[in-house]
Amino acid sequence: MNNIIIAEDHRLTAELLKRYLNNNFEQKIVSIASNGKILLSMLKQNIPDLLLLDLNMPEINGLKALRKIREQNKKIKIVVISAFNEQWIIKEAKQYGADLYFCKSIDFRKLLQIINKLEQNATDLPFAFT
């Protein structure tokens, strides 16, 4: 995956994700969206291969953004990365079209392994990693 957008309102988390991905992949991080409104605006100009999407963001939350994105684009790989691990939220994310769901407590190495498998279109991945 060459282009990645990180949608995360916590600047430190977003920058750490960006730095870790840049150090471990030959990825190009397109940009960081600090809220759902900015994310939807970015997607009008630049379609990433992968979107790392937080759910708890200002302006437009991640679930609403996910639903809008999937109405317009089915090809973007969308990985939700959230602090929430409630089953109803995980089910909604899946229903709205997320490809994978990670709790933020996941180890970075595990995240990278799963993203690699997603990139290779692996079909044996569970939906949620909590």
Q: Which two tokens stand for residue 35?
A: 């809220």
Q: Which two tokens stand for residue 40?
A: 């939807």
% of residues, the chain, pLDDT over 70:
97
Contact 78, 48 (CB under 8 A): no
Match 């109803």 to its residue by tokens: 88
Task: Give the pLDDT confidence of 54-79 residue by residue, as tens digits.
Answer: 999 989 999 999 999 999 988 899 99
Of the pLDDT bands very low, low, confident and very high (cuts 50, 70, 90), residue 27 is low
Identify the pLDDT of residue 106: 85
